[in-house]
Structure 1
Amino acid sequence: MTRSVYVTGIDRGDGRQVVELGVMELLTRQVDRVGVFRPLVHDGPDRLFELLRARYRLTQDPATVYGLDYHEASALQAEQGTDELVSRLVDRFHRVAREYEVVLVLGTDFAATQLPDELALNARLANEFGASVIPVVGGRGQTAESVRAEARNAFRAYEALGCDILALTVNRVAPADRESIAERLTARLPVPCYVLPDEPALAAPTVAQITQALHGTVLLGDDSGLARDALDFVFGGATLPNFLTALTPGCMVVTPGDRADLVVGSLAAHSAGTPPIAGVLLTLDERPTDEVLTLAAKLAPGTPVVSVAATSFPTAAELFRLEGKLSATTPRKAETALGLFERHVDTGGLLERLAVARSGRVTPMMFEHELLEQARSDRRRVVLPEGTEERVLRAADVLVRRDVCDLTLLGDPDVIRKKAADLGIDLSSVQLIDPNTSELRQPFAERYAELRAHKGVSVELAYDVVADVNYFGTLMVEEGLADGMVSGSVHSTAATIRPAFEIIKTRRPTDAGGGAAIVSSVFFMCLADKVLVYGDCAVNPDPNAEQLADIAVQSAATAARFGVEPRIAMLSYSTGTSGSGADVDKVREATELVRRSRPDLRIEGPIQYDAAVEPSVAATKLPESEVAGRATVLIFPDLNTGNNTYKAVQRSAGAVAVGPVLQGLRKPVNDLSRGALVGDIVNTVAITAIQAQPAPAPDRPVRPAAENAATPV
């Protein structure tokens, strides 16, 4: 039977979309096919569904998402009664439920709907759908006692109407009251109570939303600038020196269009980062001269300058009525909302109460969700040497909003802040270090000279070397000032990992996780329904048998660390005893070395790729193998084969390739492709943070050699 979750409220203004988005995130971690149903809908676009569809790549036909519009529902209820209305909506809900493992139901919004007793209608629909309920109560502008009373009343109301209440969520409370409200509600109610503080960035409209609402004309600015949140409004009228002191971070400057001094002064302040502003809004339909606009564009490239026809007073009145909305066009707000939800909701406990059976399929999205959740569970600090690179800054923005890990960016802080301001990115919680001027440079030079003394490296030479961002970042990891490093978006692989070979080096037998003979790599290949691990596709050109065995053992450990049960296939152009030659013999010898050193691991080799992953081929070629047809860790005999295969599968099968993930180092350092997208950087940072977490206790029951050799599937 389809499991459904009904998120509903008791009144307008509860910011329920944060909870709906958070619950959708949880559901998509567990199952592949999640449907959405909104019983009643207003005319016009449904911003939240469009966000869900874009973010979670939903293939559901939008026509099936909605039951009735409010006008139809009101007329139907008036003419034929509530029973007929409910019957119609139940029928439409079940059309969706038949197609999906789980359905997220988005309750009515209490916004001028002309429906009597809307709370009771939501409760009845939830019961008729067989859905568990998460009521949401808004707390903005209320005292702590008022919020607690309203939350208790909401629980009693839905409970009295027979609802199965999963949890109660209180949203938009004053941050100072959050803990006391949560403690009191937890003590008084029999279900989990989650309390989320008010988040100004969610309520702030973007510059694009302001422009649209005021029918403005964009004179300057790019998409990044228009996506900035307007956290405050500063109205210009004073002289420039007095006006500059009134500017606040993220503010929207509102000034008559003929005040060129305030326009230029605001943009100059933004360029200097004192403070970064969201943009400039010009009133009175007055526009600066072309010369002023040219200067403005050079002062703060990308920063929006928007012109509106109205005077300052009606413009102000309209601005203060605007509120930011979650939508497909505001992906950064979605990241903020999810970060807020994940910080203040016990997501593990809520998943248990949802009782949604985990799907046997593992989609790329599910794997990526798990990475972020696992990284967040035990926070680590990751250093990003390429702090001035735009993709790295955008990835840092996502990681901060999602609260995944702590970050250090390397580079000139003024340059980093300037670029971040131009992108509308808040780095207030991120550590910025300039290797050239850092007080760590001298002790790092002394440490590097000590490590490389056998190569004749002096402290003076080391002082120059450690100013390189990759060397500096690697030394931060080595000295425990960061837990891991990710680089390579603008540096070569050699420039990224050479410092790690020189400074961090391979794991010793006494290190956690055991020793490693060499540093190698894997890619997580996220196919449509499963995740495979490919190694080594990035580091070792032609490993010998001993090195190949080490790569197999390390890859199995990496796979297990990230939730992939290791079943190792040692790949060759020959399966079993059907072929011979130096290349096949190398793979056969490596397989035997793994069997002798790690009899607990399931391994098969030599084996061809099709026999490793396709059960029908395996049934013919190796019918008694416990790995053939079910392999999850695929070890390639050389870099040429591995690199070409992963790229062929990535492009031909539409797989998402996450990596390369380096393994065998004492502390984690990972390399990015120079073509890495923002999402690739986010995933790699999450992987690095997980690698830096304490390894779980090994679970290595030793199986008899005979069992390891041939056990029927």
Structure 2
Amino acid sequence: MQTFFIAPTRLNVGLTSVTLGVVRCLQNQGLKVGFVKPVAQDRNVCDVERSTHFARQICQLDVPDALPANYAIEQVSIDETDDLLEEIITMSMAAGKDADVLVVEGLHPDPSNPFTTQLNTEMALGLQATVILVSDASEKNISEEIKIAERQFRNEGVQVGGVILNKAPADFDKAALQAEIGELKIWGVVQFDSKLLAPRTIDVALHLNAEIIVKGELTKRRVSETVVAARAVPEVIRRLKPGALIVSSGDRDDVILATALAASNGVQLAGLILTHNTELNETVRAFTEMAFHTGIPVLRTEGDSFSTALAISQVPTAVPADDKDRMSLVMNSVAEQLDSDALHVGVQTKGAHHLSPPAFRYQLIQKARNANKRIVLPEGEEPRTINAAIACEEKGIARCVLLGNRAVIEGIAASQGLTLPASLEILDPEEIRAQYVAPMVELRKSKGLTEIQALRQLEDNVVLGTMMLAIDEVDGLVSGAIHTTANTIRPALQLIKTAPGSSIVSSVFFMLMPEQVLVYGDCAVNPNPDADQLAEIAAQSAYSAKAFGIDPKVAMISYSTGQSGTGVDVDKVRSATEIAKARHPQLMIDGPLQYDAASVLEVGQQKAPGSLVAGQATVFVFPDLNTGNTTYKAVQRSADVVSVGPMLQGLRKPVNDLSRGALVDDIVFTIALTAIQAEQMLG
């Protein structure tokens, strides 16, 4: 097992962020990763050891509790360092059991506890670890600092593999630093990004000990700028942008009205803080009541505006233990900027593993980037869709085409604080609709479609987008954020039609379980498939799983296992299993199996001895839509599992549906799925 020991060269280098970014980067490579923070640092910010906490919550790792810092200090002070190291190594080995690589987070240098530097060295030496130094790229004399830290480890016989530079300014010269530090390789340069420092409004409220007047979206909105309303309203208005936290005395009715108007217009302000312990004028409050139902939080504090703004600037930059969303963004940002090849070298895997959720997401994005497909988004004026399109364009996931009015789309983007990339394609349906009438009439001539009927149908942007796909102007379509599944599928069936060899369209969800990714089908399309259709769904789902790197072991789910049950429903599953096996002998398919017999090895061995699927299924095919949809939502909500999909299968070209409750990330991943499908269909 490879062990990496992450050691900072000084205080405040962002050790937790970089360490967990390393964990995520390794997970993205499909490696099984263990993590441990052997000794907790001083807990001034919160009573939770954040590295351990986030590794459990986000990386889904089984991480042992860190030893308290005061305990470690006491052990060193009474000359029991050997016993302490034995305890640390035992804990670390347990954390790395069955892992390909173990990541160990060291201690910050602490002037009040000079033992920390020596303990880092002894831990790395005892674990036979390769040290990765973490340094702050914004500091002066960084090369000397790195050399000193490297020398301290090497003089004790510890191997130093590389250095990761954090908080790098935009003009950071990596080549110049590499020349200065010699043979020690730079394994990553993480650019400074102020967006990743943005606290939530609730973090500011807690720091100020402010009174909450209107709760609003206190835990969701983030503060990117503090606006002190000390000037005339026209100056304040210019700064009423998403993420702005307005600091004003309650008697500034003009500022309050301007803030309320901005909130009513959809500007996602971080909040309003009333200073001097003032209150809103009753007349003004009544007039602006609806604005304060848009989600904007309103707080009150005793200090004046200047002291309040100063206090806001001193909100700790460390990610609070309950801010999982921000830490996920930080981890992913760090992981994307690391040299994954350098980290991967020397890691010896212990055999095949299930495809982990981080590896699935990472491979999904990488494959989509390589495919470089053009994906049309008919719901181009929908805010989440705009946000997802921007993300895909900026990250190179796909070339998205938004259908909608440019002015409307630009206005929605501005209200969310988003900037539309110049390369993001926007097509106005009013300007292009007519050019698809003749091709649509030709496609539907067997149904007697007239030009007037075609033009009327093309007023639906989903139909328009589907026509673009039908005549190969785009490579795929994603819709459903504000449309039903039927609205998305019906035009596809009429204009795209099913793929050769397919008689039905079905769907799968990729369920990102803590340890592996499972495939559920069909949970979105076919209400009550017969045995023949169920067999086809099984095959479609198996091949979809295989296409996305999942070894398909298909379980045909029923309320009974094997030959134990009788009845119309279980007989249908039994018959479907036989049909699927006969048509696709190369696939591993078994059924009927109860869910526990399919998913739990001990149960599977007991109920279906000798089965190659029971207890280790990766593809679950449900007997009907009622069972499939209920199961996927129960697992998703009760187990807090991310589901990607539904991905449609069986069409000649890729069209994918979204849940109307889809988040921006859900849409991004669905766009990536669609791009990969388009590439695979070419093969």
Q: Which runs of 5+ in 1 are unaligned?
A: 509-514, 596-600, 698-713
From 247, 254, 264, give the equivalent of 1:254.
247
Which residue pairs with 1:266 in the alignment?
259
Q: Taking structure 1 as reference, are residues 66 and 421 closer, same or farther at Cα in structure 2, changes over 3 Å only?
A: farther
Are residues 1:106 and 2:90 paired?
A: no
Which residue pairs with 2:20 in the alignment?
21
| Cα drift, residue 534 of structure 1 | 4.6
Greater Cα offset, 537-546 or 22-31: 537-546
Q: Taking structure 1 as reference, are residues 125 and 99 closer, same or farther at Cα in structure 2, changes over 3 Å only?
A: closer
Partner Cα separation in structure 1 for residue 72 and residue 36 of structure 2: 19
From 648, 659, 676, give the equivalent of 1:690.
676
Which residue pairs with 2:489 in the alignment?
497
Name the SS for the 1:175 alignment partner: coil
Partner Cα separation in structure 1 for residue 442 and residue 147 of structure 2: 64
Preserved CA contact (<8 Å) 1:436 1:467: no
Which residue pairs with 2:166 in the alignment?
171
Which residue pairs with 2:325 in the alignment?
332
Are residues 1:211 and 2:205 paired?
A: yes
TM-score, normalised by the number of residues in structure 1: 0.77
Preserved CA contact (<8 Å) 1:384 1:485: yes
| Cα drift, residue 559 of structure 1 | 1.6
Letter in 1 for 2:125: N
Partner Cα separation in structure 2 for residue 203 and residue 638 of structure 1: 47
Which residue pairs with 1:565 in the alignment?
551
Letter in 2 for 1:42: D
| Cα drift, residue 536 of structure 1 | 4.0
Q: Taking structure 1 as reference, are residues 105 and 245 closer, same or farther at Cα in structure 2, changes over 3 Å only?
A: same
Q: Taking structure 1 as reference, are residues 259 and 566 closer, same or farther at Cα in structure 2, changes over 3 Å only?
A: same
Letter in 2 for 1:131: A
Partner Cα separation in structure 1 for residue 133 and residue 88 of structure 2: 22
Q: Deviations over 1:455-494 (max 9, x none)?
A: 3444444444334343344345556676544433543321
Q: Taking structure 1 as reference, are residues 676 and 227 closer, same or farther at Cα in structure 2, changes over 3 Å only?
A: closer
Q: Taking structure 1 as reference, are residues 528 and 255 closer, same or farther at Cα in structure 2, changes over 3 Å only?
A: closer
Name the SS for the 1:122 alignment partner: helix
Q: Deviations over 1:219-256 (max 9, x none)?
A: 33423x55333222333222212333355553333333
Q: State how 1:387-406 maps to structure 2 within 5 Å.
A: none
Q: Taking structure 1 as reference, are residues 406 and 343 closer, same or farther at Cα in structure 2, changes over 3 Å only?
A: farther
Which residue pairs with 2:7 in the alignment?
8
Preserved CA contact (<8 Å) 1:435 1:468: no
Preserved CA contact (<8 Å) 1:343 1:403: no
Q: State how 1:315-354 maps to structure 2 within 5 Å.
A: 315-347=308-340, 349-354=342-347
Q: State how 1:287-302 maps to structure 2 within 5 Å.
A: 287-299=279-291, 301-302=294-295
Letter in 1 for 2:652: R
Q: Deviations over 1:537-574 (max 9, x none)?
A: 54345667775664444333212112222345678989
Q: State how 1:428-439 maps to structure 2 within 5 Å.
A: 428=420, 439=431
Name the SS for the 2:246 alignment partner: strand
Preserved CA contact (<8 Å) 1:27 1:34: no
Q: Deviations over 1:182-211 (max 9, x none)?
A: 8758x9435452101110112333322222
Which residue pairs with 1:195 in the alignment?
189
Letter in 1 for 2:159: D
Name the SS for the 2:584 alignment partner: helix
Partner Cα separation in structure 1 for residue 451 and residue 372 of structure 2: 34
Q: State how 1:597-616 maps to structure 2 within 5 Å.
A: 601-603=586-588, 607-609=591-593
Preserved CA contact (<8 Å) 1:545 1:590: no
Which residue pairs with 1:136 in the alignment?
134
Q: State how 1:460-539 maps to structure 2 within 5 Å.
A: 460-475=452-467, 477-478=469-470, 483-508=475-500, 516-524=502-510, 531-539=517-525
Q: Taking structure 1 as reference, are residues 310 and 641 closer, same or farther at Cα in structure 2, changes over 3 Å only?
A: closer
Q: Which runs of 5+ in 2 are unaligned?
A: none
Q: Deviations over 1:246-273 (max 9, x none)?
A: 5555333333332221232234345446
Letter in 2 for 1:258: D
Which residue pairs with 1:39 in the alignment?
39
Q: Taking structure 1 as reference, are residues 259 and 524 closer, same or farther at Cα in structure 2, changes over 3 Å only?
A: closer
Which residue pairs with 2:228 in the alignment?
235
Q: Taking structure 1 as reference, are residues 657 and 26 closer, same or farther at Cα in structure 2, changes over 3 Å only?
A: same
Partner Cα separation in structure 2 for residue 378 and residue 408 of structure 1: 16
Name the SS for the 1:439 alignment partner: helix
Name the SS for the 2:160 alignment partner: coil
Name the SS for the 1:39 alignment partner: coil
Letter in 2 for 1:332: D
Greater Cα offset, 239-248 or 208-217: 239-248
| Cα drift, residue 361 of structure 1 | 5.0
Which residue pairs with 2:68 in the alignment?
68
Partner Cα separation in structure 2 for residue 177 and residue 258 of structure 1: 46
Cα RMSD (Å): 4.7
| Cα drift, residue 169 of structure 1 | 0.7
Q: State how 1:653-668 maps to structure 2 within 5 Å.
A: 659-668=645-654
Are residues 1:95 and 2:91 paired?
A: yes
| Cα drift, residue 139 of structure 1 | 1.7
Q: How many residues align?
A: 669
Name the SS for the 2:6 alignment partner: strand
Preserved CA contact (<8 Å) 2:163 2:184: no
Partner Cα separation in structure 2 for residue 651 and residue 314 of structure 1: 44
Letter in 2 for 1:41: Q
Q: Taking structure 1 as reference, are residues 218 and 190 closer, same or farther at Cα in structure 2, changes over 3 Å only?
A: same
Partner Cα separation in structure 2 for residue 170 and residue 8 of structure 1: 12
Over the matched positions of the two proteins, sequence identity in percent amounts to 32
Are residues 1:55 and 2:53 paired?
A: no
Preserved CA contact (<8 Å) 1:519 1:664: yes
| Cα drift, residue 37 of structure 1 | 1.9
Q: Taking structure 1 as reference, are residues 204 and 680 closer, same or farther at Cα in structure 2, changes over 3 Å only?
A: closer
